[in-house]
Copies of this chain bind each other. A is one copy, B any other.
Amino acid sequence: MIRSRAQQIARGLCQIMGRELLKGNNKTIIRPPTQTRQTPQHPWSSSSSVRTISMLHWPFTQPRDFSLPNTSWDSDMRQLYEHYNSMCEVDTEDGGKKWGPWRRLPSYNRSLKYATGGVYLSKIIHSKARLFTRSIKEQGAAFEYVMFVNKEEQKCVCVFQAGHLLEGPPGMVHGGAIATMIDTVIGTHATYLSGPVMTANLNINYCSPIPLGSTVLLTSSLDKEEGRKTFLSSQVTSTDGTKLHTEATGLFVSVTMGHLVGA
């Protein structure tokens, strides 16, 4: 009964909200119907290298994009953010702008709230649920991170600053928090490449501990795709890439959206 009512509400909301779908590799990635705040969206419909994206009006409160700079970010994090963000749009010969090789991926504290389709929103009954990595409101206290993806090179990078609530060994980041970031980064990358997926395996080697409060770089690269399976590998290094903290492989299995939300 509650679910049925929630579905009715969800369907109604969907009619208002509309949807924005970014097509890639004949698969569909759901993006929230909102603009990023820092990177302005340009009407580059004339450029062949830029997808034409219709920006829809968000009728309610603008959801917070957690992957934008805030005052808790240290200088390493800001510099790496600027480095990759500057490659998200580049100058054209005629003085205009066009997409660069990288995309910044926005990040919210719930994905479902902004997804499309009435039945998918039925899980709105978990009204208090929050994405694990974005569930703590205090800036800088837990997971501060931003992801960038490069479609052509099939790579993804994440700049991650570990807050004081992620402690494992004294003064060091908890192995579970590192696993969480690895799952998040290669899982997001797998979703970008293959559509909705679920984690099937993570194999993680912890090489050297990460000091609490420091910023590190996570990279994800595609190893292979076999049917519904996507294999990726990941490394966690110091920001200059000279020190290896963790390395991992991940196997992700494609699922339908219905499977994902238990519809």
Contacts and interface: CB of A to CB of B under 8 A. Distances in A.
Interface of A: 110-112, 115, 120, 123, 126, 128-133, 135-136, 142, 164-171, 174-177, 179-184, 187, 198-206, 209, 212-213, 260-262
Contacts of A136: 135-136, 165
A174 B167 CA distance: 19
A133 B169 contact: no
A201 B128 CA distance: 33
29 contacts: A123-B171, A126-B164, A126-B170, A126-B171, A126-B213, A129-B165, A129-B171, A130-B164, A131-B168, A132-B165, A132-B167, A132-B174, A132-B176, A133-B174, A136-B165, A170-B261, A176-B177, A176-B183, A177-B180, A179-B204, A180-B180, A199-B206, A201-B203, A201-B205, A201-B206, A202-B202, A202-B203, A203-B203, A204-B204
A42 to B, nearest CB: 32
Contacts of A168: 131-132, 183
Given A126-B164, A130-B167, A176-B179, A202 B204 contact: yes
Contacts of A133: 174, 176
A40 B123 CA distance: 44
Contacts of A171: 123, 126, 129, 261-262
Given A129-B171, A131-B167, 8 more contacts: A131-B174, A175-B183, A175-B187, A176-B181, A179-B180, A179-B202, A201-B203, A201-B204
Contacts of A201: 203-206
B183 A169 contact: no
* 10 A-B pairs with the lowest CB-CB distances in the bound complex, closest first: A176-B180, A179-B179, A132-B174, A135-B165, A175-B199, A112-B170, A129-B167, A128-B164, A175-B183, A176-B183
Nearest to A211: B262
Q: Specify which of A128, A131, A167 lies most central, judged by the most chain B CB atoms within 10 Å of its CB.
A: A167
Nearest to A121: B170
A160 to B, nearest CB: 12
Contacts of A170: 111-112, 115, 120, 123, 126, 260-262
Contacts of A183: 168, 174-176, 179
